[in-house]
A and B are shown apart, each in its own frame.
Chain A
């Protein structure tokens, strides 16, 4: 009995003798992460319109921006003004769109909608709050004067940029 107690003490002692601190280190640095969060789908409510609005059978694409430190980046989001691939089209296309804040992790980020700068198909927002912001890209296109889109697959591209200030 006594031997086993002594043995146990020695064993524990030997374990402690070999124990070492194992540090876990990490660095938090300013960075911007651009994430394509939600699938976008064009609905086709009538023969001459493609629209990402849910009411028109579509889904708005959503892009998320994560910034670790405030005031280090600005977001630049462009909604499409051309198809990157489509069937042959011989008439004009009329594009429209808007970029809106969809969700945010900081209540103050709701100001982004009023502070944003828009020109052509571009929306610029200074990311002056740390955290995540989801931007919803609304987009629609009409073909000719109520002319039917040819059947096929249509693809367009949203550009989401994060530029250091």
Chain B
């Protein structure tokens, strides 16, 4: 009976998530007062299709930013190049730009590892 309680934390083969560069540099965008940077997200996690982008300061407070879509669909073995736009006043401090895998509720074989990789924008 209790066999029913045995469950999978993760029933998947090797899967990976990659987010580069480690230290992105901000550049002036076409909008005055707004800077931007480019990052690459590579999805080698077959069971994951969506990643959320977030920006934090050094105390892990959320920092406002602009992006085409905060939750990106990145198909398996695809690389997505993203542009993150920040206010110039926020660009003067160190920031983390993070990508986090999104797990779908009720997926057949639910992955149990949520991965998050954060690049650092240096002051």
Contact = CB atoms under 8 A, between A and B. Distances in A.
Contacts of B17: 33-35
Contacts of A160: 113-116
B123 to A, nearest CB: 13
Interface in A135-159: 139, 149, 151-159
Which range contains the number of B residues in contact with the other chain?
Answer: 35 or more
B111 interface: yes
A102 to B, nearest CB: 14
A156 B15 CA distance: 18
A61 B112 contact: yes
A39 to B, nearest CB: 5
Interface residues of A, number: 48
B11 interface: yes
A34 B7 contact: no
A35 B22 CA distance: 17
Contacts, number: 140
B116 A162 contact: yes
B20 A155 contact: no
A159 B114 contact: yes
The listed residue with most B CB atoms (<10 A of its CB), out of A29, A35, A139, A165, is A35
A109 interface: no
Nearest to B111: A36
A157 B3 CA distance: 21
Given A61-B112, A162-B116, A162-B117, A32 B9 contact: no
Interface of B: 1-12, 14-23, 44-45, 96, 103, 105-106, 110-120
Interface of A: 29-44, 47, 50, 52, 57-59, 61, 63-64, 66, 72-73, 80, 84-85, 139, 149, 151-165
